Structure 1
Amino acid sequence: MKIGIGADHNGYELKEQIKKFIQETMNQEVVDYGCHSCDTIDYPDVAFKVSKAITDGELERGILICGTGLGVAIAANKYPGIRAATCHDTYSAERAQLSNNAQIIAMGSQIIGVEVGKKVVEAYLNVSWAEGSKRKVDKITEKEKEFTGIDFSGSTPKCS
């Protein structure tokens, strides 16, 4: 699985630990979309890069981190075809994928620590959408199609 990861300056240190965990423990490929230091950056820029890579089919999943996880999730969800969920526990991380087919999870570095973050990521990456709530996800996709004119009903949305 190819996973994109990104953070603002508040999430930089947690991002580095999560990236290492995914690569070394879970043996998955990770593409780092920044930031690359503790220098201040705006979280929407990173969230949009990861979201675009997912809609372009370059990534299968994404992980975004800021101070609370809320800002990056809001920004990612503005990108057509993206479903991002803020998760700070393993149950929500599993449900983000199993029930909602979320391509991205968001976490807050000021909310959770490294070890909980690792468990959240592991729970999210170890499950696949079984279309359990397909009817509900389809309603979201249909509303998005109504607003954008773009059909995101496939497993990987494509934007022009």
Structure 2
Amino acid sequence: MAASLTDKPIALAADHRGVALKARLGAWLEAAGYAVRDCGTDSADERVDALDYALRLVAELEAGRSDFAVGICGSGQMMAITANRFPFIRATLLHTVEESVPARQHGDANMLVLGADVTDAAAAEQILAAFLTTPALGDRYAARRERLARLSTAVR
């Protein structure tokens, strides 16, 4: 594996549909030498709202306790939609390793979102590995990141 881009724990959360994949990715992260900050949920038996767990990940990134977060729900859509409401979040819903590279290089994504119903565990591990080891292209896309952070809900 390439060098890690962070020494901080990776924040990890899922709704009830993503519990099994969260457990597998948490174990994978720890085996790869990453610290993990588990933000729930821990049971697939009780329905919970992915929105609430996306907000937990947002709080981890906002507080600076984590540089990267991983959110998992059934399709991944609600985690990504919720997280991207915040200007300092660059959440990306990924399905392939090939998508991970430009998401990090060009978008400096800081939150990976996966759909537990549509992404098998082995592919999720590969996507996560690429996500956590691909550096952003820095200055080349700094203006884009700054523009994103300044966007508001007003249409221009």
Q: TM-score, normalised by structure 1?
A: 0.85
Number of aligned residue pairs: 145
Is 1:10–1:109's contact at 8 Å kept on the other side of the alignment?
Answer: yes
4+ long deviations beyond 3 Å: none
- Fraction of identical pairs, as percent: 23
2:71 is matched with 64
For structure 2, the residue ranges without an aligned partner over 5 or more in a row are 1-6
Of the candidates 34, 38, 52, which is equivalent to residue 59 of structure 2? 52
Q: Which moved more, 1:97-106 or 1:113-122?
A: 97-106
Work out the CA distance in 1 between the residues paired with 2:103 and 2:74.
20
Q: CA deviation at 1:142?
A: 2.3
1:33 to 31, 34, 39: 39
More deviation, 36-45/127-136 = 127-136
Q: 2:22 aligns with which of 15, 24, 27?
A: 15
Mapping of residues 93-108 of structure 1, within 5 Å: 93-108=100-115
Paired with 1:108 and 1:85, the residues of 2 have a C-alpha distance of 11
What is the DSSP-based 3-state SS (H/G/I as helix, E as strand, rest coil) of the residue aligned with 1:4?
strand
2:144 to 130, 136, 153: 136
2:118 matches 1:115: no
8 Å CA contact 2:15–2:72 kept in 1: the answer is yes
Deviation at 1:95, TM superposition (A): 1.6
| SS, match of residue 63 in structure 1 | strand
For residues 87 and 106 of structure 2, the distance between their equivalents in structure 1, rounded to whole angstroms, comes to 19
**Residue 84 of structure 1: which of 72, 80, 91 is its match?**
91
CA distance in 2, matches of 1:75, 1:136: 21
